[in-house]
Structure 1
Amino acid sequence: MNIKQLGVPVVLAFCAVLAGCSTATVVTLQNGTQYVTKDVPKTKTKDGFYEFEDISGKMVRVRADEVATVKKED
C-alpha cells in the first residue's frame, strides 16, 4: 500500500477521534437564557462562578446561583 493512500484514512480517523473528545453542553440559566458550549463547563469556582467558552469562542462567566441546568446536548 502506498504511503499516500495510507495517510488519508489515518488523518480521517484522527479527526473522528478528536471530534469525539468534545461534548457539546447546554447551560440554561434561571431566566431561560441558554448557552451551548464546546465542552462541559468548569465546575463552580471558589468564588461561586461557572466559567465556559460558548460555541462562538466567547468566554462566559455566570454566578452559580443563576444556573438552572447543565446537561449534554441531545
Structure 2
Amino acid sequence: MPMAGDDIVALIVAGIPDATVEMTDLAGDGDHWAALVTAESFRGLPRLKQQRAVYAALGDRMGGVLHALQLSTAVPQE
C-alpha cells in the first residue's frame, strides 16, 4: 500500500519542526514522490547531513512502505 503525501509531510515535520515540505506525485500513482524539504536548521550543514536528517525523520518507512522518494533539501532564502 502506498504512503500518502500528507503522511510523509507529517513525519518530516514531526522530526524537523521548522521544515517546510513540498510534495510532488511523480507518477500520479501515490507511490512515487519527490520532496523538497526547506529548513533553517539545515543552514551550515552539508547536503548529506540534511538528507540524513530527513531520512531519520522518516524512520523505517524509507525502503519499506515508502520506497520511491526523490529528495531535495534547502535552506530558506534570506
Q: Structure 1 length as normaliser, TM-score?
A: 0.24
The answer to which structure, 1 or 2, has the higher relative contact order (CA under 8 A, 6+ apart) is 2
Q: Structure 2 length as normaliser, TM-score?
A: 0.23
| Greater share of residues in helix | 2
Q: Looking at CA atoms only, which structure, 1 or 2, has the larger radius of gyration?
A: 1
